[in-house]
Amino acid sequence: MSTKVKISKSSLKNAVKIFRFIKPYKWSFIMGMLCLVISSSMFMIFPGAAGEMANAAIGKAKWNIKVSDFGLIFLAILIVQGLLSYLRTIYFAKVSEFGIADLRKALFEKIITQNIYFFEKNRVGDLTSRITADVEQLQSAFSISLAEFIRQLVVLFFGIIIIAWMAPKLSLIMLLTFPIIVVASILFGRYIRSLSKERQDSLAQSNVIVEESFQSFHTVKAFTNEKFEYNRFSDSILKMLNTSMHYAKMRGLFFIFIITVLFGGLFFILWRGALLVEKGEMEAGDLFSFIIYTGIIGGAIAGIGNLYTVLAGAVGATERIQEILESGQEVQISSDRARNSLNLKGEIEFDKVAFSYPSRPDIEVLHNISFKVKPGMRVALVGSSGAGKSTIIQLLMKFYNPSSGRILVDGLDIENYNHVELRENIAIVPQEIILFGGSIYENILYGKPEASYEDVVEAAKQSYSLEFINSFPEKFETIVGERGIKLSGGQRQRIAIARAILRNPRILILDEATSSLDSESEQTVQIALDELMQNRTSIIIAHRLSTIKSADIIFVLKEGNIVEYGTHEELFEKQGFYAQLIEFQLNAQD
């Protein structure tokens, strides 16, 4: 159940903050508002002119205008109103489309520049919902609801003035219903607003399930859990339907209340007006105008109540968006930097580093880890799952900050390095290669977006990818499919290596880069990796003996501690924990 959003100064202040995205288009907004006010004001001429036309037709005209002239008056008003409505639509479209586009970009920038922990505590579907569903709700509010709300206010304002001048007694009777409807609108609005936010949360939850199912499509298929995922999604949709129907019922009750009061009041005013006409205290045409004005005012009141709930519902979406917009960010996209401006040598030192993940602060993953790596060395991190190997890599890349101790690169604490400049000197070839859905060329170019075509081809050649790329009819323009599904594991791995070669890093990280490959693919990829590791500081996380035996030094981790270190031969002679791991691996292979 979502928390109710109260109408308060803070919530209104949050909603107003979104208007900063409209500020660059303020003149379009002002012109649109001007067209709106003039158009709505001119609309209020119609009922009065229609009543006066009726008076003229029965010979009791107040103005010196013939019945035949009213046709031209109505035509002129319609033409001007049509033109103003067109201009208003264009101006408001510019404000909403450009303003919301800026909002989407700002929101995406905030999300994409967050740290790793942000994505660990927020589900992808919920973040996607904020950029799509929440922003669409705001766009609807900016482009339609807000303008319509102001139009109804203008109509209500001028309508009350006109009927008060035209028939004070009847207007007093009509206005007795006004405070009741307004108070009811506010009370209903508060409740419907909370239901609207709850509905948005339910929709976001549905999106989360869709995202997870599609992203883990292979796992769903492998475990034949199509029915399970369908049932999970159906339950989520059912929950959203229940909330939506409750939301619709409440709005329906609100409409019943307004319609009953409005039409009841309208018939009562019609009866009282007929008595005044009978007594000669009011002209029939004026009563006709008054009835039309009453209907327009009643419609405006109902519209304001309805639009109030719509706009109030948008505040819930505004707060969800504002929550992200006001959050900090790890990197600044707008800052100008020269790529690889640090020109690192690749010396790495961990000095008594301890670490606990923010999501599990009570569990220490690393305990006073200390080691030093000279530039150009090949270092292997070996240990059982959960020993802390990947955590060391994440700390080196500044994905997290150590709980205590220091991490130095080229003798300087990485806290003094800019996140982006440090990471631009590092390339990683992970176990699970994530390729984007574009072409092979685009995926290699991702390592260094400003690289030339010749550089990309050379990177493909050095990674032993060029042969299989040229075997495709479209060559470099071959579409790899979602997450690289159209390529084999070895091909994806070599594309990732080409991407790393193009980046030309000083520090290379190989995280189980060959563990998921068959023997033939592993041999080819290993050759490419050997080429890649030349003259670079390389950190290798691996279990396979073939990958780690050529390392200059091997650090053996156990439960967050370095228990052994040395070359493969030195460690094997000790017959310690490393020897046990190797023996276990050989037995498993046999």
Tokens at 198, concatenated: 């709850």
Which tens digits make up the pLDDT trace of 17-70? Answer: 777 787 888 888 889 888 888 888 777 777 777 777 777 676 666 667 777 777
Q: Quick check: 368 pLDDT over 70?
A: yes
H-state helical runs in 387-514 = 389-396, 419-423, 440-445, 453-462, 466-470, 489-503
Given a contact cutoff of 8 angstroms between Cβ atoms, the answer to whether 471 and 488 are in contact is no
Q: Quick check: 243 pLDDT over 80?
A: yes
Fold (CATH) for 433-504: Rossmann fold (3.40.50)
Which segment of 330-334, 526-530, 574-578 scores lowest on mean pLDDT?
330-334
Query: Residue 305: pLDDT band by 50, 70, 90 thresholds?
Result: low
More confident residue, 185 or 233: 233
Round to whole Å and give the CA distance between 401 and 353: 10
Q: What are phi and psi of 358, to 5 degrees?
A: -55, -30
Query: Residue 247: pLDDT band by 50, 70, 90 thresholds?
Result: confident
CATH of 9-325, one of 3.90.1300.10, 3.30.499.10, 1.20.1560.10, 3.90.25.10: 1.20.1560.10
Given this model, what pLDDT does residue 2 score? 39
Q: Quick check: 336 pLDDT over 70?
A: no
Domain ranges of the chain: 9-325, 342-425+507-590, 433-504
The torsion of the CA quartet 438, 439, 445, 447, rounded to 10 degrees, works out to 60
- 342-425+507-590: same fold as 9-325? no
Mean pLDDT of 312-317: 71
What dotted CATH number matches 342-425+507-590?
A: 3.40.50.300
Identity at 349, one-letter amino acid code: E
Given this model, what pLDDT does residue 3 score? 39
Given a contact cutoff of 8 angstroms between Cβ atoms, the answer to whether 52 and 62 are in contact is yes
H-state helical runs in 113-177 = 116-121, 124-129, 135-140, 146-166, 168-175
Secondary element (H or E) of residue 73? helix 67-112
Given this model, what pLDDT does residue 186 score? 60
Round to whole Å and give the CA distance between 91 and 99: 12
Round to whole Å and give the CA distance between 475 and 440: 8
Given this model, what pLDDT does residue 291 score? 75
Query: Residue 399: pLDDT band by 50, 70, 90 thresholds?
Result: confident
More confident residue, 449 or 258: 449
Classify 330 as helix, strand or coil.
Answer: coil
Which tens digits make up the pLDDT trace of 532-588? Answer: 788 888 888 876 666 777 888 889 888 888 888 888 888 888 888 878 877 776 665
Round to whole Å and give the CA distance between 193 and 536: 58
Round to whole Å and give the CA distance between 223 and 201: 29
Tokens at 495, concatenated: 């594309």
Given a contact cutoff of 8 angstroms between Cβ atoms, the answer to whether 508 and 465 are in contact is no
Given this model, what pLDDT does residue 7 score? 47
